[in-house]
Structure 1
Amino acid sequence: MTPVQTAGVGTAQRLAALAEAAFGGRLPVRLRTWDGSEAGPPAGPVVVVRSRRALRRLLWEPGELGLAQAYITGELDIEGDLGEGLRTLWTAARGRNLHAPRLTLTDRAHAIGTAVRLGAAGPRPAPPASQARLRGGLHSKARDRAAISHHYDLSNAFYRLLLDETMAYSCGYWASEAPDFTPADAQRAKLELICRKLGLVPGSRLLDIGCGWGSLTLYAAEQHKAQVTAVTLAQEQAAYVREQVRDRGLESRVEVVCQDYRDIAGGGYDAVATVEMGEHVGDAEYPAFAAALHRLARPLGRVLVQQMSRGAEAPGGGAFIEAYIAPDMHMRPVGETLAILEQAGLEVRSVESLREHYVRTVGAWHRTLEERWDDVVRLVGEETARVWRLYLVGGALAFEEQRMGVDQILSVRPTAEGRGGMPATPQDWYAGLDRL
């Protein structure tokens, strides 16, 4: 049976009225629905609702996750530049005090009635196949292994398409404004900066926790002649790093271990690095993680943590990121991380914000994704490609607008007498990074 609609009132007008009532303000974007009707401001981004299923998702999940599911499946789209569309929505939310839906029973009844009239009512749609489905206790070893695998074991071929030749999947360091300074140059500058902050010299023992595809491990072994133990939970990453170690003749300097950080034995490392891995540890578990960093470093050993952060009112990763990108992740304000590291016995010596650097880094990844879109779709499918488009565009905007940050935190394990062994000034850390 075809749903009955009042003459002259299209689906878009009905949905616009419903959305404005739920969000407490006028629509900041134009809305076009499956019947061709439109509502909202005449200029600016256009949100296209392609099917009734998108509306059904939003009825069952009226917020970030429902919108993400509808976008990922292609049931909802933004016509034109996705970043401009998201920026318009965020700007309106701040400037016009729009709020997330807090639906009363009356609101829900009205929404369900509208859905029935539009033929969109029905059971909860199944989540997209790309959504994480984890089991077991939060941050148990088995669940953490599954969470890491969900994201990092997507395939090495995919990350080769997305990243530059360094295979560094973390914030770069844009040490130069020269037009020929590339994303790979920014990653090499970041790796060199980390090695200098850690004070690596030939023979230094470095522990790289959450080594990714080995960018820091390989750089430290090749350029600084360090002895590196690389640790990752992801099987695909471990296989890739081992292959690189063999190809580069670094077997005598690099050991690759596929294990949980909680299982790392021994200690006495001259330097410990963990680059954008601490977000996966968990909130309750972070003090134990910080204690492990202290235990694994020798007295006078240095510890560098590069880690993303969020404000006190927005911890965690967000509904979309936790469902599709990094399940169970937790980002806290940087000040809380500093306090936990110090409580573990480490002395924080330097904190450097890289927030604006991440805007440029994520922007470079997004450009690559769009340039290689057809190859990405052939490799991982359109649904996963749309997950990554939303992730990268939304991530760049979050860093740009200071809803997320990222910092390099350098600490030292002092001696019992309180000596830190750090240089009096850090000027050598930055010299010549723009020429790498």
Structure 2
Amino acid sequence: MKSAADRLADLLGHFLPGPLPVRVRAWDGSLTGPADAPLVVLRSPGALRRLVWQPGELGLAEAYVTGDLDVEGDLADALSRAGRSVRDRPAARPGPAGMAAATALAVRLGAVGPPPKRPDGRARLTGGLHSVARDRAGISHHYDLSNDFYALLLDETMAYSCAYWTRPDDPAYTLADAQRDKLELICRKLGLGPGDRLLDVGCGWGSLTVHAARAHKARVTAVTLSRAQHEFVTARAAREGVADLVDVQLRHWRDIDGGGYDAAAAVEMGEHVGDAEYPAFAAKL
């Protein structure tokens, strides 16, 4: 009788060409995958069931949060290997016979069943997708946990987006340095100068807002839907001596009014806008 790990390898083989990018230990203790790869631990068939009901990153994240799935060793290495594997070896779509065999394997593994219980703390939003009220509730649930909480996760700039690494081989070069280089790159691309008006939509904790005001003497209108972020950026602008150049507004992007801006920035804001709303968002800016 085949072990759970062997059946899992057979199941994944119908969709992923080549060897597994990680080593897997199943709930029965069996192992599969390269011996030198990061070890992914599946503590119950519930991990697979979450992926069946929510394929992709969300299912993986919920399996990790609930403890159905864990990684022993370097989590970043495991994610990188899995990401490279998906990028370099796109998933295949099996034919009818392959799909029937994969379905039978999924049933034997316990991956087929009712949807698992959602993790505690997950947002339960109502209303139309990307309506103002729903967006406000989603942003509040996510970002209003507390500024102190995010300060534990972010560097001193409190930038909540990708950094721009200009000196990756310099051991003294930090994430905060890379974030500051990112902020400066944005300001240079926007051509900001003293007195220019910048609209910073989805301003987060004000890293770009304050940098543009302090380093380029721009007048910045910063927009956020998070009350915690609004309070933080207002206090930060005062603390860093640029309160006279910064206007922080608590509003939805659809409700931005006025004009006469010299530049507009929306740093990694698209995930909140949504694909369908992006043309209207771009047109508004």
**Fold in common (TM above 0.5):** yes
Tell me, yes or no, if structure 1 residue 232 matches structure 2 residue 227: no
* Aligned partner of 1:133 among 118, 124, 149: 124
Which residues in structure 2 correspond to 1:296-311 (within 5 Å)?
Answer: none
* Aligned partner of 2:154 among 145, 153, 163: 163
* SS at structure 2 position matched to 1:252: helix
Q: Deviations over 1:322-377 (max 9, x none)?
A: xxxxxxxxxxxxxxxxxxxxxxxxxxxxxxxxxxxxxxxxxxxxxxxxxxxxxxxx
Which residues in structure 2 correspond to 1:116-195 (within 5 Å)?
Answer: 123-176=114-167, 178-195=170-187
- Aligned letter for 1:161? L
Total equivalences in the alignment: 282
CA displacement at 1:273 relative to structure 2: 2.4
CA distance in 2: counterparts of 1:59 and 1:267, whole angstroms: 47
* SS at structure 1 position matched to 2:220: strand
- Give 1:80's aligned residue: 73
* SS at structure 1 position matched to 2:213: helix
* Aligned partner of 2:107 among 100, 105, 112: 112
Structure 1 residues 235 and 87: alpha-carbon distance in aligned structure 2, compared to 1, 3 A threshold: same
CA distance in 2: counterparts of 1:16 and 1:157, whole angstroms: 43
Provide the alpha-carbon RMSD of the alignment: 3.1
CA distance in 2: counterparts of 1:22 and 1:195, whole angstroms: 44
- Give 2:7's aligned residue: 14
Structure 1 residues 229 and 76: alpha-carbon distance in aligned structure 2, compared to 1, 3 A threshold: same
* Aligned partner of 2:23 among 30, 49, 54: 30
* SS at structure 1 position matched to 2:129: coil
Task: Identify which range, 263-272 or 39-48, moves more after superposition.
Answer: 39-48
CA displacement at 1:53 relative to structure 2: 2.7
- Give 1:344's aligned residue: none
Structure 1 residues 198 and 137: alpha-carbon distance in aligned structure 2, compared to 1, 3 A threshold: same
CA displacement at 1:192 relative to structure 2: 3.0
Which residues in structure 2 correspond to 1:17-416 (within 5 Å)?
Answer: 17-21=10-14, 23=16, 26-61=19-54, 64-93=57-86, 98-99=91-92, 104=99, 107-115=102-110, 123-176=114-167, 178-293=170-285
CA distance in 1: counterparts of 2:221 and 2:133, whole angstroms: 22
- Aligned letter for 1:240? F
Structure 1 residues 139 and 81: alpha-carbon distance in aligned structure 2, compared to 1, 3 A threshold: same
CA displacement at 1:63 relative to structure 2: 5.0
CA distance in 2: counterparts of 1:91 and 1:205, whole angstroms: 41
CA displacement at 1:94 relative to structure 2: 5.6
CA distance in 2: counterparts of 1:94 and 1:199, whole angstroms: 35
Assess if the C-alpha contact under 8 Å between 2:14 and 2:94 holds in 1.
Answer: no
CA displacement at 1:228 relative to structure 2: 2.0
Q: Larger RCO: Structure 1 or Structure 2 (Cα < 8 Å, ≥ 6 residues apart)?
A: 1
Assess if the C-alpha contact under 8 Å between 1:139 and 1:281 holds in 2.
Answer: yes
Q: Deviations over 1:84-121 (max 9, x none)?
A: 33344344456665437888456434422443xxxx77
Q: Deviations over 1:202-249 (max 9, x none)?
A: 333322222111112222223333322211111111010111233344
Percentage of matched positions with identical amino acids: 60
CA displacement at 1:61 relative to structure 2: 4.5
CA distance in 2: counterparts of 1:191 and 1:93, whole angstroms: 31
Structure 1 residues 214 and 39: alpha-carbon distance in aligned structure 2, compared to 1, 3 A threshold: closer
CA displacement at 1:259 relative to structure 2: 0.3
Structure 1 residues 105 and 64: alpha-carbon distance in aligned structure 2, compared to 1, 3 A threshold: farther
CA distance in 2: counterparts of 1:292 and 1:32, whole angstroms: 50
Task: Identify which range, 135-144 or 26-35, moves more after superposition.
Answer: 26-35
**TM-score of the pair, normalised by structure 2:** 0.82
CA distance in 1: counterparts of 2:273 and 2:80, whole angstroms: 30
CA distance in 2: counterparts of 1:95 and 1:198, whole angstroms: 35
